[in-house]
Amino acid sequence: MHIAIIGAGISGLLSALELVEQGCSISIFDQQQAAQAASWAGGGILSPMYPWRYPQAVNDLAKFAKPQYLAWNEKLKPITGIDFEIHETGMLIFDEDDFEIGLNYATQHNEPMQQCDYLNQEQLEQVNPHIAAKFKHALYFSQLANVRNPRLLQSLTQYLKQHPKVQFLEHCPIQQFQLQGDHAQAIQSADGQLHHADHIVLATGAWSQHWAAQLGLEIPVQPVQGQIVLFKTPAQWLPSMCMNKVMYLIPRQDGHVLCGSSMRHVGFDTTPNPQTQQDILTACFEMVPELAQFPIVKQWAGLRPGSPTGVPYIGKVPNLNNVWMNFGHFRNGLCMGTASAQLLRQLMLGQETIVDPAAYDPKQLQPTSICA
């Protein structure tokens, strides 16, 4: 079976990985260089921020993130020589309004990885001595981890590029389908060339609304800009991830610390905003004042695929027998990515599914007009 995957971000790459491991041959198309959009720009926390604030369908996929990334890293690292750098730092949350629900979440939802402890100030100082004195207590989720997403993407890309059953077509934007009845015979790139495949997967993230007119569907996925500021501290300086009022600090093993994040509806603009940067810095220095002593080495913004509830669309496109969706993950593309790709592979190949697929079914999308 030959499968064309449109989009070489985390969703497209992991979908390719799942399918090629089952013996499928894969062509991966991207409008720019692979692994360069939102997947590269994110923070890499392997859990939704405040999982209790999300629909259960998000958490049903996200809970697989840490074990599945650990397993993929073990498989790919000997071949690519690239470590994902899964950093098991734990997470401190300072939002007092979330303490009660956070303490009960793991038991209520049978998610042992979300088990947390209530820390008083003395215990908090033992876990992370750099926390501002104003914080008298916190929740500590000791099992949460982050992945260094640029390295993850490099490893996935390198593994797939050396695979004999995978073809990459970068800087090759796909513009439209060639449809006949309920079947997509081919996809057409901007240069007019037709590319044939048995099945087509749309893993196009924030750009997914492009397909709405051709598919005759409302696709409520919008680009939502998120901004990050990167500091460089000594290696292992900040011992845990920290979060307060939806702002986070994420330490990497080598001392880099990511500070974010924001949400701005500015179309496809990825220009960092000075006021947003100041808001991020203010919030992060409030948590860890000493961070202000260290240099900012980079800042950037990426575009999340904003869907109405954060639940992605995974499954076969209504009224077409060989076109599939895997997009709309909003803020949780990395932590839902492994299970999303696994679910897609299971649906495409008629296998037993890791979760009930109904919550993600593209059948819920509303029709617009007759397909063009």
CB distance 66 to 113 below 8 Å: yes
pLDDT tens for each residue of 16-48 = 999 999 999 999 999 988 877 778 888 999 999
- The pLDDT tens digits for 314-340 are 999 999 999 999 999 999 999 999 999
Residue of 4, 19, 72 whose CA lies nearest to 349: 19
pLDDT attached to residue 371: 43
Mean pLDDT for 99-113 is 95
Cβ atoms 85, 252 nearer than 8 A: yes
Give dist(CA 87, CA 257) in Å, integer: 12
Which residues have C-beta within 8 Å of that of residue 126, sequence separation ≥ 6?
A: none
Domains of the chain: 2-46+150-219+310-364 (3.50.50.60), 91-143+222-306 (3.30.9.10)
pTM > 0.85: yes or no = yes
Distances (CA, A) of 209 to 12, 190, 212, 214, 290: 16, 17, 5, 10, 43
Q: Which of 109, 52, 62, 20 is nearest to 340 (CA)?
A: 62
Taking only the tens place, the pLDDT of each residue in 135-156 is 999 999 999 999 999 999 999 9
> In degrees rounded to 5, what are phi and psi of residue 167?
-125, 130
Separation of first and last alpha carbons in the chain:
27
Query: Can you tell me which residue has the tokens 């979440």?
Result: 105
* Residues whose CB is less than 8 angstroms from the CB of residue 21 and which lie 6 or more positions away in sequence, other chains included: none
CB contact at 8 A, 317 and 199: no
Q: How far apart are CA 131 and CA 126, in angstroms?
A: 10
How sure is the predictor about 369, in pLDDT bands with cuts at 50, 70 and 90?
A: low
